[in-house]
Amino acid sequence: MTWTYRALVVAVFATCLHSGPNTARADFAEGQPWGLEFGFGWGRTRSSDYIRTLEDFGYTRDSRTGFRAVVAASRRVCRYFEILFQFNTLDDQNFARSAGIGVDDSFKFSTLAFGIHGRAWFPTPNDRFRAYAQLGVGSSVAITRLRTRLSQDAPRTEFRDAQWSYNITSLLGIEGMVSKHVGLFLNGGYVFAPVPKNLFGQRHQSGGGLVLVGISAHFGRTR
């Protein structure tokens, strides 16, 4: 966590205090202290001891989705730096196991991440394209759902659980402004979110690499 904090401090210094007075524009993002972003994309996670244990216990993967979504709200704190509250969907997998007689047992987990991010903008000759680096820390939660039968005649019982952990997110992106206040963005990076966890202490890394595209809006009035 220490390196994340240091990187964040460096980013703030680099952008707020030493952001290249030669290239900095006095009207960069003028009148745009607030922002909203919506995006979607694709992500990929690796297998893990957690998944292998499920397979050892007779589960086979029914489906997994690489779909990722992001929602973020931002507030510019100085000319080239903004703070975001960001929400990401992460890994989502479904498993099934033959229960012998009747409907199969099933297990599903869906992981979400949210946190505070710092985004450093790189000065560009004009405002049409903007590049940025982003780093964030926060919480991640895996919603797990096990459906199994506890007696021969009863229907399956569902056991839901929410498991919490942290996440560290790093992204690089570019934003192309289609108007003064609206842009389209493309970013990609890596999320580390070690959740869910089983009773053996094995964790699945629900983050992994991701690529997102979306729309952003910048608005507000500076004083």
Partner 1 sequence: MRTLAKASVRRGLRPLLVLPLFFGIAGPSCEYDVVEDPGFQFWCGDELCEWDTVEGEIERVPTWHEEDAAVALIGSPVTLEQRFATRVNGCVLIELIADVDPGVSVTIAIDEDGVEPPEWDADVDRSGFQRMSWRVEVDVRGEPENDDAPDPDAAPPGTVRIQKTTPGHAVITQLRLSKRCGGHSDP
Contact set with partner 1 (CB under 8 A): 53-54, 56-58, 97-101, 105, 107, 144, 146, 148-152, 157, 159, 198-200, 202
Please state the closest distance from residue 143 (CB atom) to partner 1, in A: 14
Give the residue with the Cβ less far from partner 1, 181 or 197: 197
CA geometry: angle at 87 spanning 179 and 78, to 5°?
55
The distance between the two most distant Cα atoms of the chain, rounded to a whole number of Å, is 76
Burial of 101 (0-12, 13-18, 19+ CB in 10 A): exposed
Please state the closest distance from residue 151 (CB atom) to partner 1, in A: 5
What DSSP designation does 191 have?
E
Give the residue with the Cβ less far from partner 1, 27 or 56: 56
> Is 40 in contact with 216 (CB distance < 8 Å)?
no
Please state the closest distance from residue 208 (CB atom) to partner 1, in A: 22
Please state the closest distance from residue 172 (CB atom) to partner 1, in A: 37
Give the residue with the Cβ less far from partner 1, 54 or 191: 54
Give the residue with the Cβ less far from partner 1, 7 or 99: 99
Give the residue with the Cβ less far from partner 1, 148 or 170: 148
Q: What is the DSSP string of 135-180?
A: EEEEEEEEEEEEEE-SSSSSPPEEEEEEEEEEEEEEEEEEEEESSS
Please state the closest distance from residue 140 (CB atom) to partner 1, in A: 19
> Is 191 in contact with 178 (CB distance < 8 Å)?
no
